Structure 1
Amino acid sequence: MTPDKIRLHKKSRQLELVFAGQPYRLDAEYLRVLSPSAEVRGHGAGQGTLPHGKQEVGIDTIEAAGNYALKIVFDDGHDSGIYTWDYLHDLCVNYEAHWQEYLDALHEAGKSRAPDTQVVKLM
């Protein structure tokens, strides 16, 4: 599914996508921590990393990757990973589930969304 409209809102750090007339806004943090890159996902099961401290990340630029995807360049230097239209659509329509999975993983790992923050688990 190809988006009807794509707009970057730098001030609010959001990417606006419209699919079949339905608008969605995705925060840069959400897109960054769910990057389809090998750095985040890994090359196989269990090889990915859990990005954390990305609450204030922004998007520098977005670029078309052929007619099927976007390349998103984040202000923390992350610029790998191709966000296909299908993946972006999934991130839009399944936002709540994806975000909750990420928050649960952060909690389990004792990590924080905030940069320069360390979570201490008390026994």
Structure 2
Amino acid sequence: MPTCTSLTLHNKSRYLEITFDDGASFNIPYELLRVYSPSAEVQGHGPGQETLQVGKRDVGITDLEPVGQYALKPIFTDGHQSGLYTWEYLYDLGANMNARWHDYIGRLHAAGFFGDTGREPGAVLHGTSTHTHHGGCGHRH
């Protein structure tokens, strides 16, 4: 199981940069983190109970709370704070980011939402911005 070795919030461009002990590093947009929150509010309590999240294009993160040595709890600017993001979940989200974006955009369009996100299906995600350093994994600063 991968373990986080460093993380940085990039608040201007709204993405989380996270690096793992196997050398993998991902820049995960806040919007993607929010719409794929592992919380019951978003995921439901079983297959087919997911709630499509809309209007999250400009969501921010005001704080990251460590949960033991295995997870993070982001506090989003829209008030959402019930998702516990394990290192394994964040690794999977980063590794499968483009497929998740494509799926998300497809679900938005199928539900009649167009232009809800600034990203197009299949767009390669990467970010550059001024860094706002938040600290190491599992440490609150």
Query: How far apart, in 1, do the equivalents of 2:56 and 2:6 lie?
Result: 26
Q: Which structure ranks higher in relative contact order (CA pairs < 8 Å, sequence separation ≥ 6)?
A: 2
Q: Is 1:81 matched up with 2:83?
A: yes
What's the TM-score, normalizing by structure 1? 0.87
The alignment's C-alpha RMSD in Å is: 1.1
Query: How far apart, in 1, do the equivalents of 2:47 and 2:26 lie?
Result: 30
Give 1:111 shift. 2.0
Give 1:23 shift. 2.3
Structure 1 residue ranges, 4+ long, deviating more than 4 angstroms after superposition: none
Which residue matches 2:3?
Answer: 2
Q: Is 1:13 matched up with 2:11?
A: no
CA deviation vs aligned residue, 1:32-59 (integer Å, no higher than 9, x gap): 0010010110012222210011101111
Instruction: Check the 8 A contact 1:4/1:21 in 2, yes or no.
Output: no
Matches within 5 A, 1:104-123: 104-112=106-114, 113-114=116-117
- Going from structure 1 to structure 2, the CA distance change for 1:45 and 1:23 (only over 3 Å counts) comes to closer
The residue matched to 1:4 in structure 2 has which SS? strand
Worse overlay, 27-36 or 7-16: 7-16
Find 1:71's aligned residue among 70, 73, 80. Answer: 73
User: Where does structure 2 lack aligned partners over 5 or more consecutive residues?
Assistant: 118-141
Matches within 5 A, 1:13-92: 13-19=14-20, 20-92=22-94
The residue matched to 2:88 in structure 1 has which SS? helix
User: Where does structure 1 lack aligned partners over 5 or more consecutive residues?
Assistant: 115-123
The residue matched to 2:16 in structure 1 has which SS? strand
Which residue matches 2:123?
Answer: none
What's the TM-score, normalizing by structure 2? 0.77
Kindly provide the amino acid, as one letter, of the partner of residue 18 in structure 2.
L
Kindly provide the amino acid, as one letter, of the partner of residue 100 in structure 1.
H
